[in-house]
Amino acid sequence: MTRFDLSGKTAIVTGAGRGIGRALAIGLAEAGAQVAVVARSAADLQETVSEIEKAGGKAHAIVADLTASDAAQQVVDKTLETLGGLHILVNNAGMNIRKKAHEVAEEDWDRVVDLNLKATFRLSQAAGAIMCEQKYGRIINIASVAGLVALRTGVAYGASKAGVIQMTRVLALEWSRHGVNVNAIAPWYFKTPLTEGLLRDEAFLQEVLQRTPSGRIGELEDLVGPAIFLASDAAAYISGQTIAVDGGMSIYGF
């Protein structure tokens, strides 16, 4: 359908070296967008670029540590320089440090919040300036169901993702009148390199599945459709929303 076609659009996807970010970058490219993929590992990014190019798409790798104060502007400037525009931003880069609340050190809190929340704002701010000026843009923040319900051993992560969800609403309130829609996607457990160790624990896996009405762990493809939708003209009248892609888990928490 043409309303889902992203041809002629340029996207930035952060944390695109593997897992969710790589899947979203490839999905946006398959829908027609050219994609600037951002991560700290050049080797991981090259694999993402190769997969996109193998399928006939166009991608450019940008190696960056998004917690650096000047990284966001550099990523936006490099994207404009190499790909000639900016229409879509997917803020996916994030991390978690799993500790009980009384064990969380200040440096743990800072590391999680600096990447998950502060870096997401900085990049949204830099991209939003371009998008508001051109009167068109789509920003998709990858939040988490941890920002909607309470999960154990994730106080800094949950706080950062709740912040992302509220930030999404505020940015939408300010920028939607300029043609820039800002939305979020809140995933539950998906099969990624970061979760495979946890999900190998049979007791943990069964607890997760018991709290998931659909009865299964998410596949990365389950996130691609919602991202393409929010990036496309099909979602032109949607802004400030958080879509939980969680198999129904957030109905009753964990």
Q: With contact defined as beta carbons under 8 Å apart, do 79 and 60 qualify?
A: yes
C-alpha 40/C-alpha 38 separation (Å) is 7
Could you tell me the pLDDT band of residue 153, with boundaries at 50, 70 and 90? confident
Per residue in 86-140, pLDDT (tens digit) is 999 999 999 999 999 999 999 999 999 999 999 999 999 999 999 999 999 999 9
Query: Which is catalytic among the residues 157, 189, 237, 252?
Result: 157
Give a yes or no: residue 250 inside a domain: no
Per residue in 176-202, pLDDT (tens digit) is 999 999 999 999 999 888 888 889 999
Which strand (E) or helix (H) includes residue 46? helix 42-54
Give a yes or no: residue 251 inside a domain: no
- pLDDT, residue 106, reads 98
Q: What is the CATH number of the domain that holds 97?
A: 3.40.50.720
Strands 10-14 and 34-39: parallel
Angle at 12 between CA 127 and CA 96, to 5 degrees: 95
Give a yes or no: residue 248 inside a domain: no
237 as an active site residue: the answer is no
C-alpha 125/C-alpha 103 separation (Å) is 33
Closest CA to 201 of 213, 212, 189, 219: 189
The domain of 96 spans 2-243
Against a cut of 0.85, is the pTM above it?
yes
C-alpha 244/C-alpha 185 separation (Å) is 6
Domain count, the chain: 1
Closest CA to 34 of 21, 25, 45, 46: 25
Give a yes or no: residue 171 inside a domain: yes
Strands 180-187 and 242-245: parallel
- pLDDT, residue 57, reads 98
Per residue in 25-52, pLDDT (tens digit) is 999 999 999 999 999 999 999 999 999 9
- pLDDT, residue 253, reads 52
Q: What are phi and psi of 185, to 5 degrees?
A: -120, 130
